[in-house]
């Protein structure tokens, strides 16, 4: 399940550093105010303020796995644009003389045997395993076309197979995909090579195969262990079968085990979800993602089979979230950012401490600075300042590749302004602090003048305790990290443009409380986005 496609919102919380560390709200010259690092420890005050604010701040917004967000990609970007991006990538020189920068890869496998009703991923439900054989052929063709454009056999420092269910492929098909990757790319053994796994559909032999193929990280979908919740979402998966996979991963030497949970699902309560979290903690995953279920049945058809009457009320959902934060904090997990937690010695936690964390289509990453190639139906890549997305349907994907053409459906060529805003949003979301002087120097702007409207909005959010605007820096507070998507939205130029257009279309004298472009809170809330809480 690629991060981009999840029908989920974020867990906007802040957990890091030892408990009882100052939250940074005290105003004293405490240790948490180190230059370049935001204060990140949560405390009861932040969680209590969060409860109070959540209702007012919970508007719809993007998840910012990219900026501009994928809904801004357009069909005016085509195959020739992608070829141009690949040509520039091929010509790029690394910092080491004569060594080109490594790449990151994403491989999408869209097939699943059963539907999970909450799912918002681009998948194909089928029990016909003959369908994947053809798909593997076309994946190899696409890799060959891209590699031809790149010229050299480039190093790959990070790869990820997502879906769908990548382990839908049989062992021979998995070997073929991996062989094709090795033929065209040099997958560095010291890199991160991960795959999403459905614990219901994998045995010891297949786990051993994954290790043999070079995967060193696995990501497991769990969602919830409660029997009634599992029935309601059509995903029955015992803790025992999940544990079997985790034990196999440890035995086989996988470097990291990651698990996904979702709160806000039907029949969930605070107590029931706490029991699930306890069972998960007993397996001690290195990373945990805790997503908020976003019920968007008008967008994702499978969700129409979820009984809305069984969904937890907003107050209950908030209790589940706060309870989960407290549980994970107590268990020693570090809050990485939106949705993501990690053990303190995990690479993500280390990267955050060192200010190297970035966002990419899989969420947070230690390697997001490199060009990312996407392979497979609907996959997204980011190459030489362009985003590119493949055809969404298998028919289109096959038809275009049959013509020897890269299956580009849409994309986006970033302008200087987009690079600037991406950097600002990334800094706030990943490190919780923005060094204004550094941004001004890199982008040759006067920050205050360039972002005059944004600073007005930010001042309002500062008034709510989400952010501190100090000379030369903007710092996200622990409370603000709970609602960091709301802060990122302030710097989203596309949302601001939407708001301006909406304001222009309004009557000259608008009723009290009508959203305006400069009012801070009421940016547009398109139905395509999930709630920020
Ligand atoms: S396993 Fe379930 S949640 Fe994952 S992609 Fe398939 S249908 Fe969606």
On the question of pLDDT at 119 being above 90, the answer is yes
Cα→Cα distances 437→455, 468, 484, Å: 15, 16, 22
The answer, as to whether pTM is greater than 0.75, is: yes
Whole-number Å distance, alpha carbon 400 to ligand 1 midpoint, is 26
Is any atom of ligand 1 closer than 6 Å to the C-beta of 306? no
Note the pLDDT of residue 481: 84
Interval 433-444: pLDDT, tens: 999 999 999 999
Of 87 and 510, which is predicted with more confidence?
87
Cα→Cα distances 239→62, 76, 98, 236, 257, Å: 32, 47, 50, 10, 15
CA distance 74 to 24: 42
Residue 339's pLDDT band (cuts 50, 70, 90): confident
Note the pLDDT of residue 508: 55
Q: What is the mean pLDDT of residues 207-220?
A: 97
Whole-number Å distance, alpha carbon 123 to ligand 1 midpoint, is 7
Interval 265-292: pLDDT, tens: 999 999 999 999 999 999 999 999 999 9
Whole-number Å distance, alpha carbon 90 to ligand 1 midpoint, is 35
Q: What is the mean pLDDT of residues 155-163?
A: 95
| Phi, psi values for residue 160, rounded to 5° | -145, 130
The encoded tokens of residue 291 equal: 């997503």
Note the pLDDT of residue 183: 97
> Hey, whose CA ends up nearest to atom 8 of ligand 1?
119
Note the pLDDT of residue 483: 86
Note the pLDDT of residue 325: 86
Q: What is the mean pLDDT of residues 412-416?
A: 97
On the question of pLDDT at 40 being above 60, the answer is no
- Measured from the Cα of 221, ligand 1's closest atom is 4
Residue 54's pLDDT band (cuts 50, 70, 90): confident
Residue 34's pLDDT band (cuts 50, 70, 90): very low
Instruction: Please check whether residue 174 is in contact with residue 133, taking contact to mean a CB–CB distance below 8 angstroms.
Output: no
Q: What is the mean pLDDT of residues 69-78?
A: 96
Q: What is the mean pLDDT of residues 161-177?
A: 96
């Amino acid at each position: 399940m690629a991060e981009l496609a999840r029908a989920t919102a974020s867990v906007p919380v802040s957990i890091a550093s030892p408990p009882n560390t100052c939250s940074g709200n005290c105003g004293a010259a405490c240790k948490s105010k180190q230059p370049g690092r935001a204060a990140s420890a949560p405390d009861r005050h932040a969680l209590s303020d969060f409860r109070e604010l959540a209702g007012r701040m919970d508007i719809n917004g993007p998840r910012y796995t990219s900026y501009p967000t994928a809904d801004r990609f357009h069909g005016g970007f085509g195959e020739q644009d992608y070829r141009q991006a690949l040509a520039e990538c091929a010509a790029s020189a690394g910092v080491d003389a004569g060594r080109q920068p490594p790449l990151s890869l994403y491989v999408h496998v869209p097939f699943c045997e059963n539907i999970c009703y909450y799912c918002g991923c681009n998948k194909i439900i089928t029990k016909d395993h003959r369908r994947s054989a053809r798909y593997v052929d076309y994946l190899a063709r696409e890799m060959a076309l891209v590699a031809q454009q790149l010229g050299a056999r480039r190093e790959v420092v990070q790869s990820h197979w997502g879906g769908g269910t990548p382990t839908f492929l049989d062992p021979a098909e998995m070997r073929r995909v991996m062989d094709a990757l090795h033929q065209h790319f040099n997958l560095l053994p010291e890199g991160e090579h991960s795959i999403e796994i459905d614990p219901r559909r994998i045995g010891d032999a297949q786990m051993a195969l994954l290790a043999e193929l070079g995967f060193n990280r696995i990501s497991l979908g769990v969602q919830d262990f409660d029997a009634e919740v599992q029935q309601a979402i059509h995903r029955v998966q015992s803790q025992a079968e999940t544990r079997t996979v985790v034990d196999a991963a440890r035995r086989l030497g996988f470097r990291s085990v990651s698990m996904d949970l979702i709160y806000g699902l039907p029949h969930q309560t605070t107590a029931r979800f706490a029991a699930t979290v306890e069972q998960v903690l007993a397996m001690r995953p290195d990373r945990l993602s805790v997503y908020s279920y976003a019920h968007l049945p008008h967008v994702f058809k499978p969700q129409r089979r979820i009984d809305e009457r069984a969904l937890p009320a907003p107050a209950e959902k908030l209790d589940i979230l706060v309870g989960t934060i407290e549980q994970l904090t107590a268990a020693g997990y570090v809050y990485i950012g939106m949705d993501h937690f990690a053990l303190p010695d995990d690479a993500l936690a280390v990267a955050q401490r060192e200010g190297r964390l970035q966002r990419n289509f899989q969420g947070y990453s230690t390697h997001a600075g490199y060009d990312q190639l996407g392979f497979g139906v609907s996959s997204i890549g980011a190459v030489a300042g362009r985003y590119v997305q493949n055809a969404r349907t298998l028919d289109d994907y096959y038809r275009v590749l049959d013509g020897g053409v890269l299956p580009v459906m849409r994309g986006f060529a970033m302008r200087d302004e987009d690079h600037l805003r991406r950097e600002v949003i990334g800094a706030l979301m990943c490190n919780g602090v923005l060094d204004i002087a550094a941004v001004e120097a890199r982008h040759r702007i006067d920050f205050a003048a360039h972002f005059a409207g944004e600073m007005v909005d930010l001042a309002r959010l500062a008034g709510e305790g989400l952010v501190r605007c100090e000379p030369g820096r903007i710092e996200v507070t622990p409370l603000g990290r709970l609602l960091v998507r709301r802060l990122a939205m302030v710097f989203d130029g596309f949302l601001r443009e939407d708001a301006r257009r909406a304001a222009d279309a309004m009557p000259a004298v608008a009723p009290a409380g009508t959203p305006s472009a400069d009012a801070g809170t009421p940016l547009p809330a398109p139905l395509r986005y999930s709630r920020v809480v």
